[in-house]
């Protein structure tokens, strides 16, 4: 029978087991520190435990190891990392360095089930959800890479990689807890951003659960007809419901929402589209991040021209929308927004 990953049991369950073995209670704390603060990947690393206790742990548990299987470095310094999972599945993450930030973009699922037509990951079949320790390991490994390549650790984490985080709610929230806990990585929740296509029921649950991290919404169109055409999730989570859930989130958390909007030529970049986006933005306490579209092999969409994009930005600003234009990073290695598709 396959052994359970030791990181897949609660601290309370581990404490009960340690007690049943006749070990002192402080051993549980030592093991938890090795797992989440020191990010041990083998029992042999746990040097302050007796050999007998380490052997017992080996007999009862395992580590589902993840390894960085492939990496590519962009001309702009962005690094895309392929991670090989214990069951031989494959996911991708990205390290995005800037002058003042070192950001990890991490995945939450193997593949995706949402089928957004402009996103390469949307053309992959969803194989399974990631476990919380697999999400945590991505962050830990990307942090190691940042230290090695740039001499400084991560400052920010964005859940904008493969998959829909809110369709893997429990594991994602558990991972965030370990990433932000003083007993784990100790990163400030305000340095984390979770991006969702807009699962309204789960946005409300996040608010009820006291989320302290930032929330971003992959909007990309501001009418139900247009959004449903490119994002099928809108058919069951329409814009009115989305706005209600975002206002609920803001009322509960006080955290301003970010609306993400990929600007696609002749799809959502007209001045009329700008009016529709401004109208939706007026219903929510938010800012808008416009993102350069990155073409993919699976679709014929094209990036909006510089002139049209600049006109779109100006049009939004005239309507008093807080708007930022984000330049794509890592395009030359298929590491930019919407390009993660396990091409290796």
Catalytic residues: 92, 337
The answer to whether 48 and 58 are in contact (CB under 8 A) is: no
Would you tell me how many other CB atoms lie within 10 Å of the CB of residue 337? 23
The radius of gyration computed from the CA coordinates of the chain, to the nearest angstrom, equals 21
* DSSP summary character for residue 131: P
DSSP codes, 289-310: EEEE----TT----BPPHHHHH
Q: Which helix (H) or strand (E) holds 252?
A: helix 239-253
The answer to whether 132 and 276 are in contact (CB under 8 A) is: no
- Distance of alpha carbon 273 from the chain centroid: 27
> And the tokens for 34?
């090795």
29: buried, middle or exposed (CB in 10 Å: 19+, 13-18, 0-12)? middle
Q: Which residue has the tokens 């369950």?
A: 13
Task: Provide the edge-to-edge strand list for the sheet that holds 67-73.
Answer: 67-73, 79-84, 90-97, 102-105, 156-159, 192-196, 214-218, 257-263, 286-292, 323-326
Around 89, how many Cα atoms within 13 Å sit in the side-chain half-sphere?
19
């Amino acid at each position: 029978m396959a052994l359970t990953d030791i990181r897949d049991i609660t601290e309370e369950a581990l404490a009960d087991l340690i007690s049943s073995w006749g070990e002192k209670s402080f051993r549980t704390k030592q093991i938890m520190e090795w797992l989440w603060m020191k990010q041990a990947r083998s029992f042999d690393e746990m040097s302050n435990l007796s050999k007998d206790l380490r052997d017992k742990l080996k007999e009862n548990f395992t580590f589902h190891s993840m390894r960085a299987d492939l990496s590519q470095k962009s001309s702009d310094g962005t690094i895309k990392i392929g991670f090989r999972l214990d069951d031989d599945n494959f996911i991708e993450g990205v390290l995005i360095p800037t002058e003042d930030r070192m950001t990890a973009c991490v995945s939450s699922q193997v593949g995706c089930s949402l089928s957004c037509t402009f996103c390469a990951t949307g053309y992959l079949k969803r194989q399974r959800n990631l476990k919380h320790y697999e999400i945590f390991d991505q962050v830990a490994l990307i942090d190691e890479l940042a230290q090695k390549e740039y001499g400084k650790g991560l400052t920010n984490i964005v859940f904008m990689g493969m998959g829909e985080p809110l369709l893997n709610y429990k594991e994602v929230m558990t991972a965030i807890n370990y990433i932000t806990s003083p007993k784990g990585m100790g990163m400030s929740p305000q340095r984390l951003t979770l991006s969702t296509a807009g699962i309204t029921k789960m946005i409300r649950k996040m608010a009820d659960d006291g989320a302290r991290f930032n929330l971003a919404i992959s909007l990309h169109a501001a009418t139900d007809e247009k959004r449903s055409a490119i994002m099928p999730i809108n058919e069951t989570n329409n814009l009115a419901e989305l706005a209600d859930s975002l206002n609920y989130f803001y009322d509960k958390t006080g955290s301003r929402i970010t609306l993400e909007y990929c600007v696609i030529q002749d799809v959502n970049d007209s001045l009329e589209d700008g009016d529709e986006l401004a109208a939706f933005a007026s219903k929510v306490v938010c800012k808008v991040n416009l993102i350069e579209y990155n073409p993919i092999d699976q679709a014929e969409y094209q990036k909006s021209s510089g002139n049209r994009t600049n006109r779109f930005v100006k049009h939004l600003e005239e309507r008093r929308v807080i708007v930022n234009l984000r330049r794509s990073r890592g395009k030359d290695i298929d590491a930019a927004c919407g390009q993660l598709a396990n091409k290796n």
